[in-house]
Copies of this chain bind each other. A is one copy, B any other.
Amino acid sequence: MKLYDGGRAPNPRRVRIFLAEKGITVPLVPVDLGGLEHKGAAFTALNPMQRLPALALDDGTVLTESIAICRYFEALHPQPPLFGRDPQDRAVVEMWERRVEFHLLTPVSNVFRHSHPAMKEMEVPQVPAFGEASRPKAVAFLEFLDGELSRRPYVAGDRYSVADITALVSVDFMKPVKLAVPDHLAHVRRWHAEVSARPSAKA
């Protein structure tokens, strides 16, 4: 198999962190997002959605969507479990993964897509007012998450999970759009320092 990878973008990084936590090595094929290589005919044939990452399996199947790719690896390599340990724990992990995705990664991405000059050709039309309206939504979710992280070490419970990976790439993606974790969110800051210190965060 081969993983089509997109460098610093948050979704490809989600999968690389996941693989690093699992200790799995997959050959990477770099795709030049800045040069719009993902919009070209060759990559579009692999993923018509023109998004990264994409995992090409040996039988020709192409899997896309970061979390679908991660869950596939979870099935092949169950240890350590990053999607939960039993049906209820798995539901709690998925709930938190999705809450972070919809209420943090999505608004931060919307700020980027609708206000960053680099996205002018990729997000058509950019609606800057929507980008701006997304900023306080990301911060409001961090305020909520801070309360949650005052009561447990990780986003979805006592163990590091895929929800922490999504939250980490979301917080780190705030930097290019000039959003910052407010100083008074001590629990988010504690959590961010801890997950950033794991070797996987460099992936």
A88 at the interface (CB under 8 A from B): yes
| Interface segment, one of A29-37, A57-65, A191-199 | A57-65
Task: List, in ascending order, chain B residues with CB within 8 A of A75's CB.
Answer: 87, 90-91
**Contact of A130 (CB < 8 Å), options: B57, B87, B92, B127:** B127
What's the least CB distance linking A197 to chain B, in Å? 28
Q: Which residues of B contact A129 (CB under 8 A)?
A: 125, 127, 129-130
Interface residue A116 (Cβ < 8 Å from any Cβ of B): no
Q: Can you name 16 A-B pairs with beta carbons within 8 Å?
A: A49-B103, A63-B91, A63-B92, A65-B95, A65-B99, A69-B91, A71-B90, A71-B91, A72-B87, A72-B90, A75-B91, A76-B87, A114-B130, A125-B133, A127-B127, A127-B130
Complex Cα distance, B63 from A133, in Å, reads 28
A133 with B127: CB separation less than 8 A: yes
Contact residues in B for A144 (Cβ distance below 8 Å): 48
For A26, list chain B residues within 8 Å (CB).
none
Is A139 an interface residue, CB under 8 A from the partner?
A: no
Smallest CB separation, A87 vs chain B (Å): 4
Tell me which of B68, B87, B103 contacts A91 (CB under 8 A): B68
Chain A window 127-171, contacts with chain B (Cβ cutoff 8 Å), 1 for yes, 0 for no: 101100100000000001000000000000000000000000000
Tell me the smallest distance from the CB of A139 to a CB of chain B, in Å.
Answer: 14
**Who on chain B is nearest to A55 by CB?**
B91
**A57-B88, A76-B87, A87-B72 in contact; A95/B63 too (CB < 8 A)?**
yes
Q: Does A190 contact B (CB under 8 A)?
A: no
C-beta contact mask, A61-99 vs B, less than 8 Å → 1, else 0?
101110111011001100000000001101110110011
Task: State A188–B68 Cα separation when bound (angstroms).
Answer: 24
Q: Which chain B positions have C-beta within 8 A of A114?
A: 130
Q: Which residues of B contact A63 (CB under 8 A)?
A: 88, 91-92, 95
A63 to B156: give the CA distance in the assembly, Å. 12
